[in-house]
Amino acid sequence: MHWLIGVAAAFIVLAGLKTVNHIVTPFLLAAFLAIISAPPLAWMQRRGMPGILSILLLFSLVGLAFFLLFAALQGAAESLAVQAPLYQEKLVGWMEQLRAALGARGAPPGLLPETIPLPQASTVTGMATGIASGLGQFTASTLLVLLAFMFLLLEERTLADKLAAAFPGRRRARVRTRRFLRSVYRYLLIKTGASLLTGVLVGVGLSLLDVDFAILWGIVAGLLNFIPTIGSFIAAIPAIVVAIVSTEPLVILLVGVLYLVVNISIGSILEPRLLGRTLGLSPVIVLISLLVWGWVFGPIGMLLAVPLTMIAKLALDSSPQTRWAGILLSDRVRRSPGQASARAEGVPE
């Protein structure tokens, strides 16, 4: 009965969040930006920079990053609208050549379909044009994200003092809260840095290989790096398809090698070494989190699904009463110190 009530309560909360996702999503993005910016903010204040000045500096840097991101996406969408008919024409020509070659070798006429199951060039052009115009309208909601981000930074300066004043007799709870917040800061900072490095390496590598829309594919690779395993695979598909249409076979091979090297070196070597082996999620939990948070918050929820689930896991790990749930969310079996020592001594647990 307790499990049934808990599941029902969770569903009601998620359904409520889905109803007001247009309000929650900007503040959720602002909260992630504030968490990522908290360590640089503390560093600047320790160096003697006034609090307001450091907050304004971070606000300006984040705003500039959003502006450059939207400008790059808008330019790529406009270029895609121009290139889409050319790609479509080239694919149709390849299909005709392949059909003629197979027919010359005695292949049956119905071996290949008469038409390619691809969207019309006008449809792709219209979608790209709509994205380019929609990005300009999205900047209005971005202003709300930036304002919420600035106010959260202002609130972060006094959060520790407020917790101490509100719960003066619960020192252990405050220690657990600080430990949890430090873990969240560390995870998001390292994950964001790794995603930024992934996007830069992919974008620069594709630019050197002269692949169309290299900046766009770099941005996509950086964003999808927040989704482990499948995110890197999905990010490589459009770049490889564009390389197949517009470049030579050697370049196509180099594009695949570039994605493979970047994802293995960062996702499989650098991130586990910096984050630690215990900060991993079960693949089943990753899939469920993508479905759940994508249903609640849409595309933004799918991008933030793994960070949100990881924050929940860190919160569960921070308390002995809920650590069992954090272990179930993990991708590895982790035993408590008491269990490990008992197993080493051969004592039944």
Q: Is residue 312, in this structure, part of any structural domain at all? A: no
Q: Is residue 6, in this structure, part of any structural domain at all? A: no
Q: Is residue 64, in this structure, part of any structural domain at all? A: yes
Tell me the whole-structure pTM to 2 decimals: 0.72
Q: Is residue 348, in this structure, part of any structural domain at all? A: no
Percent of residues, the chain, with pLDDT higher than 90: 3
Model pLDDT for residues 65-115, shown as the tens digit of each residue: 888 887 777 777 777 767 767 777 777 777 777 667 766 776 666 655 555
Q: Is residue 55, in this structure, part of any structural domain at all? A: yes
- Cβ–Cβ < 8 Å for 118, 142: no
Q: What confidence score (pLDDT) does residue 342 get? A: 44
Q: What confidence score (pLDDT) does residue 170 get? A: 66
Beta bridge partners of 330: 281
Q: Is residue 141, in this structure, part of any structural domain at all? A: yes
Give the domain range for residue 89: 24-166
Q: Is residue 337, in this structure, part of any structural domain at all? A: no
- The stretches in the chain having pLDDT less than 50 are 337-342, 344-345, 347-349
Q: Is residue 43, in this structure, part of any structural domain at all? A: yes
Q: Quote the number of domains for the chain.
A: 1
Model pLDDT for residues 321-332, shown as the tens digit of each residue: 777 777 777 766
